[in-house]
Structure 1
Amino acid sequence: MHLVDAKGILTTNGGRCGMNIYRGCSHGCIYCDSRSKCYQFTHPFEDIEVKQNAPQLLEKALKSKRRKCMIGTGSMSDPYMHIEEELRLTRRCLEIILQYGFGLAIQTKSDRILRDIDLLDEINRSAKCVVQMTLTTYDDDLCKILEPNVCNTKRRIEVLEEMQKSGIPTVVWITPILPFINDTEENITSILNECVRVGVKGIIDFGMGLTLRDGDREYYYAALDKHFPGMKERYIKQYGNAYELPSPKAGELTEIFRKICKANGILSSPEDCFHFINDLPEKYSQMSLFDL
């Protein structure tokens, strides 16, 4: 890792505020879009850039904001990577969000988030907190290949269950679904059934497939050569150099997804999920388990 003094921390897009305390990631997910060249990394992806002044920048930004809103983090770089155990910058930023009465929408794949469940609970009581988890495969052995340096899906489901017990709403990203790898009815159904069991509020799906850009594609294909011999050639034959790679089973898997969500009152369109994630009501009370 290397430390930097950032010039700013909050970005605003359509009234939504987001931040990334870290830049790069140590989880090693083979499909990670954040590796793409379009994001213009000037350092190796695993050499994490640490915005060491993030808490000070965040406090300055929140002090000057006239209207409270949800503060999002985790879309580009996971806020609970290994270095967070020592640096605790994410925790400090959560303390500031709580102090100034803002809401939080936080996305991770790591069970390290449980360390901060006390703050998440307080934020949810005073404003609103939404915890988002990515679940791609229910198979532990496959998970070790796809997401090698982070806890497995079953452990993430335990995290979701703990959030439910605290009345903190959760949203799951069931993405990406990798063609010919985890695009099976058994995998999708197993994940969805667990989402139902732990009472998630919404599930985000972008069409049961994968996207690849320059930089991301090369890393993904190298992983395919290592773990799934011959799969890269199958991809190239099926998709060429396309950006969007839908699963050949996308239609039937999407039907299963929508049916299970509808039957259990789970938000299933990205628009509805994002509206819930980004909306901070003027008067918000902690959700009861019956509302989840």
Structure 2
Amino acid sequence: MHKVKAKGILSQTNGINIYRGCQHGCIYCDARSDCYQIKHKFEDIEVKENAPELLEKALASKRKLCMVGTGAMSDPYMPLEKELRLTRKCLEIIERHSFGATVHTKSSSVMRDIDILQRINQKSKAVLQMTLTTADEKLCKVIEPNVSTTAKRVHTLKEFHNAKIPTVVWLSPFLPFINDTKENIDALLDYCIKSGVKGIICFGIGVTLRNGDREYFYSQLDRHFPGMKERYIKTYNNAYDVASPNGNPLMQRIANVCGKEGIMFGTDRVFSYLHEYENKYEKQNLQLSLFDYL
């Protein structure tokens, strides 16, 4: 870990990334790609130690309330957050200024901040986004070695649902010939149904590989799945979009189940929901004012 003083924290799309790099060790991590220009060792986490101060300034000067998101690039609840608590400090600032918040993680450690997210959700809107890739706990420990188990993530989804905080699940990635099976997807969908998730995001059945990411992914295939790298190279060469041969029927399966269970599905639809800010105080005041005319 090394600390830096960042010049800015809030992106044009109202996202924040407090950390650069990750401790979770997922073998497929796109953030390892060369295009993101992380100059330090990926596991040597760059910490934007002044993130709360920068966010305070940015939100205080913002004219319009909106949703603020974190976790798009680096998980805001990697293990070092337990010590640094920068994500929590940023959520406290978001709550104080009455903005909405959405956090994207693979860690049950987000439970430590459910109190703040509840307060945000009472004022405006808070959404928990959680990634699920496999129902097989042994496989989970291979492809996502340092994250919370799938069972713990599902328990967290249930706890947030019980706290009336909406949840969205990312079903991705599905690694061809590894976890791209109907049995796995059906098990994950069953978890989503029982956890009361509001929406599901799935870009397709497959994984993306770029320079930097691909090399690490292949090294881990050699380590854990002997012969699989050669199968990937033979099937996909150096393609960016590595699509599962089972893609179409499995995507249709997800769409059908979501339609039947009333789960929001489709990237455009779910992303629109995630970015849509709600001011519940305004709604309450509007409802109260309507009684004046009755």
TM range (shorter): over 0.9
Question: Aligned to 2:199, which of 199, 202, 211?
Answer: 202
Moved over 2 A (4+): 281-286
- Give, in whole Å, the separation in 2 of the partners of 1:257 and 1:208: 10
CA contact (8 A) 2:123 2:280 kept: no
Q: Which residue of 2 aligns with 1:67?
A: 64
Give me the whole-angstrom Cα distance separating, in 2, the residues matched to 1:142 and 1:121: 33
Give yes or no for contact 2:141–2:149 (8 Å, CA) kept in 1.
yes
Partners of 1:181 and 1:149 lie apart in 2 by 19
Query: Which amino acid is 2:97 matched to?
Result: Y
* Greater alpha carbon shift after TM alignment, 274-283 vs 202-211: 274-283
> How much has 1:252 moved relative to structure 2?
1.3
Q: Which residue of 2 aligns with 1:225?
A: 222
Aligned with 2:141 (options 129, 138, 144): 144
Please give the secondary structure, in 1, of the residue aligned with 2:265.
coil
* Deviation, structure 1 residue 282: 4.1
* 1:123 and 2:112 correspond: no
Matched, 1:278 2:275: yes
Give the aligned residue type for 1:103: G
Please give the alpha-carbon distance, in whole angstroms, between the structure 1 residues aligned to 2:268 and 2:118.
25
Q: Which runs of 5+ in 2 are unaligned?
A: 285-294
- The 1-side partners of 2:62 and 2:100 are apart by 13
Counterpart-to-counterpart distance in 2, 1:100 and 1:155: 31
* Residue identity (%): 59
Q: In structure 1, what residue type is equivalent to 2:9? A: I
- TM-score scaled to structure 1, two decimals? 0.95
* Post-superposition offset of 1:251: 1.1
1:38 to 32, 35, 38: 35
In the alignment, does 2:15 pair up with 1:11? no
Q: Which residue of 2 aligns with 1:185?
A: 182
For 1:205 and 1:88, the matched residues in 2 are separated by 30
CA distance in 2, matches of 1:187, 1:82: 27
Distance across 2 between alignment mates of 1:141 and 1:61 = 43
Q: How many residues align?
A: 283
AA at the equivalent of 1:125: Q
Q: Deviations over 1:238-291 (max 9, x none)?
A: 0011000110000111111111000011111000110111100344779xxxxx
Q: Which amino acid in the other structure matches residue 6 of structure 2?
A: A
User: Whole-Å Cα distance in 1 between the matches of residues 212 and 181 of structure 2?
Assistant: 27
Report the equivalent of 2:172. Answer: 175
* TM-score for both structures, normalised by structure 2: 0.95
Residue equivalent to 2:208? 211
Q: 1:246 aligns with which of 243, 252, 258?
A: 243
For 1:276 and 1:153, the matched residues in 2 are separated by 25
Two-structure CA RMSD over aligned residues (Å): 1.1
Q: Which has the larger radius of gyration?
A: 2
Q: Deviations over 1:195-247 (max 9, x none)?
A: 01111111000111110000000000000000000000000010011000110
